[in-house]
Amino acid sequence: VTDIKLPTKTINPESDSFWKSLEDEWPNMQQCQSCEKWQHYPRVICSHCWSLNLIFRPISGLGHVLSLTDVFKPGHPAFSSSTPYRLLIVQLLEGPKVLSRQSGEQPLAIEDQVEAEITSNENGYLLCFRKKQ
């Protein structure tokens, strides 16, 4: 199992700023300058109003758990060595929802308040969430 590599990231020109922001230690996401709504994942166009006027801004990093699951049989074999691990869907304060993974030791439940924590593995940085202190 150990020689199976984790799936590499497929970064594109629109999403580059998001992944770079994790390297710079705080997540940035896209906010539309026309309708002021936030979106994630990054796009060339605002998914709410189709404006092209989008900028990356730091997010609060706060939100709550919409749902979770502990994965015992991963869809990709590279994750088998770390099972079970807890996946989350997090509702961010700014509006977007993100798929993520629990970090930290404190167990999470649906509706728990969470805060962003940047973690890293051999593929680089990931936006994870831990229980809000």
Partner 1 sequence: LMAKASRLALLDSGIPKAKIDGLLVSVHAGETPMHVPATVAEYLGLTPRYAGSCDLGGASAVGMIWRAAAAINAGMASSVLCVLGNTRDASLIGKTSNRNPIREFDVPYGASGANSAYAFLASSHAKKYGTSPEQLAVIAVHERNNGQLNLDSVFYGTNISIEDVLNSPMVSTPIHLLEIVMPCGGAAAVIVSNSSGIGAAKSVPVWIRGAGEFITHRAMSQAPSLTSGPLKFAIADALSKSKLSISEMSLLSFYDCYTIMLGIQLEDSGFVEPGGFGGYVESNNFSHLSHMPINTHGGQLGAGQSDLAGGMGHVIEAVHQLRQTATNRQISDPEFALVTGNGATMSEATAVVLGGQSD
Whole-number Å distance between alpha carbons of 16 and 24 = 12
Which among 20-28, 56-64, 68-76 is the span making contact with partner 1, rule CB under 8 A?
68-76
Backbone angle region of 100, left / alpha / beta, with phi > 0 → left and psi within -120 to 50 → alpha: beta
Q: What single-letter amino acid sits at 5?
A: K
Largest Cα separation within the chain, whole Å, is 48
Is 57 near partner 1 (CB under 8 A)?
Answer: no
Q: Which residue in this structure is represented by tokens 């092209």?
A: 52
Whole-number Å distance between alpha carbons of 15 and 56 = 10
Is 9 near partner 1 (CB under 8 A)?
Answer: yes
Is 6 near partner 1 (CB under 8 A)?
Answer: yes
Nearest approach, Cβ of residue 41 and partner 1 (Å): 5
Is 71 near partner 1 (CB under 8 A)?
Answer: yes
Contact 118/125 with Cβ under 8 angstroms? yes
Residues 81-120 that bind partner 1 (CB under 8 A): 82, 84-85, 87, 89, 97-101, 110-111
Nearest approach, Cβ of residue 58 and partner 1 (Å): 19
Helix (H) or strand (E) holding 34: none
Which among 22-30, 55-63, 67-75 is the span making contact with partner 1, rule CB under 8 A?
67-75
Written as six digits, the tokens of 78 are: 């590279």
- Residues in contact with partner 1 by CB under 8 A are 6-7, 9-13, 15, 41, 43-50, 52, 66-76, 79, 82, 84-85, 87, 89, 97-101, 110-111, 123, 126
